[in-house]
Amino acid sequence: MLGTVIAVSLSSKHTFSKDNQERIQLVKGLGVEGDAHFGSTVKHRSRVAQNPNQPNLRQVHLIQNELFEELKDDFTVEPGQMGENITTVGINLLELPTDTKLYIGEKAIVQVTGLRNPCGQIDDFKPGLLKAVVEKDANGNLIRKAGIMGIVLESGEVKPGDAIRVEYPSKPYKKLERV
């Protein structure tokens, strides 16, 4: 399966949205160089308050542009505005199993760790958006559509236009859970 990077973003501060960049540098075991979530231990403020020594399973946040297309009748959302580092097209990120490897650009490899668990800050950005990105299926299970998280297995530069190749883990696949 092939996809494409359409935007890359980062913020050195803990802001909800991130600024688009010409390129970002992924660093093995640490994440996006220059981003507030860069590091081997958790950087998400609420998780730091619980235990600052937790491993950082949220080094890279990816969202598929198809979500923005789905939302466009009610919300205008541009790449980077929902806090993602990499905006993709052509891959249904939400259907990937845990531990899938994403080969991005010439060298970078990101291993998928789970789903982003959107919080109330989404409604501070756009009122009503949280309800649009968190739904329930017929059985009452939550469906989180605000992207996926990953860790950097191999360093590399990532820029718009880069190809993304998907490598599935060995079966049985493990369904994505929130991280």
Query: Can you tell me the distance from the alpha carbon of 115 to that of 93, in angstroms, rounded to the nearest whole number?
Result: 9
Per the CB < 8 A criterion, the answer to whether 148 and 176 are in contact is yes
pTM for the model = 0.96
**Measured between alpha carbons, how far is residue 169 from residues 49, 96, 97, 114, 115 in Å?**
32, 10, 8, 14, 17
Closest CA to 118 of 91, 149, 96: 149
Task: Count the Cβ atoms, other than its own, within 10 Å of residue 107.
Answer: 12
Q: What is the pLDDT averaged over residues 81-110? A: 98
Quote the pLDDT of residue 49: 79
Could you give the domains of the chain?
2-167 (2.40.33.20)
pLDDT tens column, 127-161: 999 999 999 889 998 999 999 999 999 999 999 99
Lookup result for tokens 């923005």: 68
Task: Select from 67, 59, 42, 133 the least CA-distant residue to 102.
Answer: 59
Whether residue 48 has pLDDT greater than 80:
no
- Phi then psi for residue 70, to 5 deg, are -60, -35
